[in-house]
Amino acid sequence: MQNEILVNASSGETRVAILEKGSFVELHLERSSDRGMVGNVVKGRVTRVLPGMQAAFVDIGLEKAAFLYVGDYVADAEPGANGDGEDATRGRRGGRRRNGNGRSNPPRIDTLLSEGQEVVVQVAKEPIGTKGARITSHLSIAGRHLVLTPWSARVGVSRRIGADRERRRLRDTVERHRPKNLGFIIRTAGDGVREPDLEADIKYLAETWDDIQTRQREAAAPSMLYQEPELPMRVIRDVVGRETKRIVVDDPALYEKMKRFVSRFMVDPPRIEHYTGHEPIFDHFGVEAQIDQNLGRKVWLKSGGYLIFDQSEALTAIDVNTGRYVGKRDLEETVLRTNLEAVREVVHQLRFRNIGGLIIIDLIDMEDLGNRDKVYRALQDVLRGDKARTNILKISELGLVEMTRKRTRQSLVQTLCEPCPYCEGKSYVLSE
């Protein structure tokens, strides 16, 4: 889908807006005092082992200890421990035991880790609310077209690349050029990419891995071994493709930096423009006002219906209402049209607000089973444009949709807002 990217860099904060077909669909924000941690590789020290939870707490240099579940740990996975391919990788996963049903059980956490032990891990989820960061030792370093998976000596291909011939071509190309002790996954962005581009990506990722190994041998825990690029470069790496129309940036220093980045990593770089207008870039393109509109609890639909968003630590509940929309013919048609419009707006809001975790959508009740299927299929279709991993269940008898959306960082509300000092975030105060 054709997109445009707007970059607003001010002192201490960078914002990136992504527009698809002129519609403002995503906002990414990063502060220099609080850069995101997801994707960073860290040498940490185990501070506490919890056999009852099959997990451990690891000091990675943050205020709160990070959480490492036993299923996210690769035993003896130290850079350079050995590089003898897939069989060695399987042997490092802790020797899973079989239970009576023939299923594989992970070993006990206290047989793998001990207090004071140093481990190399990657941040999988930011600290959110009262919870510390979620970490894993299944490392993956993202490049432009490939993802390096050092503990697996396999070559995988994204499921979104559907053509068998293209999948074989990509896999054969990577097999020819990769170091045999390193695994790679070909990203969706690798579809149709030429061999020299893939070779360059392999070289870059292999050099990055060598740097991580060197730092790991020299650094004392806790210490950073690899840090993800700053926000604009990550967006270029992960979002920009053949369908990107242009990138517009308002900071001259960042403009030059981004030009150097795309010339180094991209054969056909997108057009990058330096915005020099008098009014702020987000105001000029009409997206600043939309940020405030999409932070509210109530979101109006074009038909006159509306959505209510209620976020808690456990889940997000979204209520669909007909509001001012009264329809034209009968109640069932009115309800169907409102629900169809609502699921499109719900997905837009999930992407824009970066809402993750458990989500409950309370649709307006539909008597006709065929109409329920139409709404469910419409929700599936619109979710295909969302890069975050989602899982949805069929509409229940009560008209509820249960779904999950992968959460790796704070939502937009958590990033831009703080609880009201009067009600402490409860959204109500004692009456007179």
Q: Can you give the residue range of the structural domain that contains 408?
A: 296-416
Cα radius of gyration (the chain):
24
Are 41 and 25 found together in one domain?
A: no
> Which residue, of 272, 293, 314, is where some domain finishes?
293
- State what percent of residues in the chain have pLDDT above 70: 92
Are 247 and 210 found together in one domain?
A: no
Are 43 and 187 found together in one domain?
A: yes
| 78: pLDDT strictly greater than 80 | no
Token pair recorded at residue 289 = 């006002």
- pLDDT of 251 reads 93
| φ/ψ of residue 14, rounded to 5 | -125, 130
| 74: pLDDT strictly greater than 80 | no
| 257: pLDDT strictly greater than 50 | yes
- pLDDT of 91 reads 35
Residue 173 lies in a domain: yes
Are the CB atoms for 16 and 232 separated by under 8 Å?
Answer: yes
Neighbours of 389 (CB within 10 A): 10
| 324: pLDDT strictly greater than 90 | no
| pLDDT band for position 318 (cuts 50, 70, 90) | very high
Residue 335 lies in a domain: yes
- pLDDT of 93 reads 43
| 79: pLDDT strictly greater than 50 | no
- pLDDT of 81 reads 41
| 127: pLDDT strictly greater than 90 | no
DSSP state of 72: G
Are 359 and 308 found together in one domain?
A: yes
Are 283 and 305 found together in one domain?
A: no
For residue 217, give the amino acid letter: R
| 249: pLDDT strictly greater than 60 | yes
- pLDDT of 89 reads 34
Q: What is the mean pLDDT of the chain?
A: 86
| pLDDT band for position 34 (cuts 50, 70, 90) | confident
| 279: pLDDT strictly greater than 90 | yes
11: nearest Cα among 43, 33, 28: 33
Instruction: Tell me the CATH number at 4.
Output: 3.30.420.60
Instruction: Tell me the CATH number at 207.
Output: 2.40.50.140
For residue 326, give the amino acid letter: V
Among 67-76, 83-92, 220-229, 267-276, the least confident range:
83-92
Total number of domains constituting the chain:
3
Token pair recorded at residue 323 = 């509001």
Are 202 and 346 found together in one domain?
A: no
Higher pLDDT, 339 or 106: 339
- State what percent of residues in the chain have pLDDT above 90: 52
Are 73 and 219 found together in one domain?
A: yes
Mean pLDDT of 191-218: 90
Residue 431 lies in a domain: no
Residue 429 lies in a domain: no
Are 41 and 175 found together in one domain?
A: yes
| pLDDT band for position 99 (cuts 50, 70, 90) | low
- pLDDT of 426 reads 77
- pLDDT of 103 reads 54
Q: How far apart are CA 60 and CA 41, in angstroms?
A: 10
| 101: pLDDT strictly greater than 70 | no
- Where are any strands of DSSP class E within 312-395? 315-321, 357-362, 390-392
| φ/ψ of residue 413, rounded to 5 | -65, -45
| pLDDT band for position 75 (cuts 50, 70, 90) | low
Are 86 and 163 found together in one domain?
A: yes
Among 85-89, 176-180, 248-252, 409-413, the least confident range:
85-89
> Which residue, of 293, 318, 349, is where some domain finishes?
293
| φ/ψ of residue 395, rounded to 5 | -65, 125
The CA-atom distances, in angstroms, between 269 and each of 26, 199, 244 are 22, 17, 10
Residue 424 lies in a domain: no
Are 44 and 177 found together in one domain?
A: yes
| 247: pLDDT strictly greater than 90 | yes
| 39: pLDDT strictly greater than 50 | yes
- pLDDT of 165 reads 92
Residue 428 lies in a domain: no
167 exposure class (CB count in 10 Å sphere: 0-12, 13-18, 19+) = middle
> Which residue, of 246, 263, 293, is where some domain finishes?
293
Residue 43 lies in a domain: yes
| pLDDT band for position 2 (cuts 50, 70, 90) | confident
Are 209 and 124 found together in one domain?
A: yes
Mean pLDDT of 371-391: 92
Are the CB atoms for 395 and 404 separated by under 8 Å?
Answer: no
Are 178 and 68 found together in one domain?
A: yes
Residue 430 lies in a domain: no
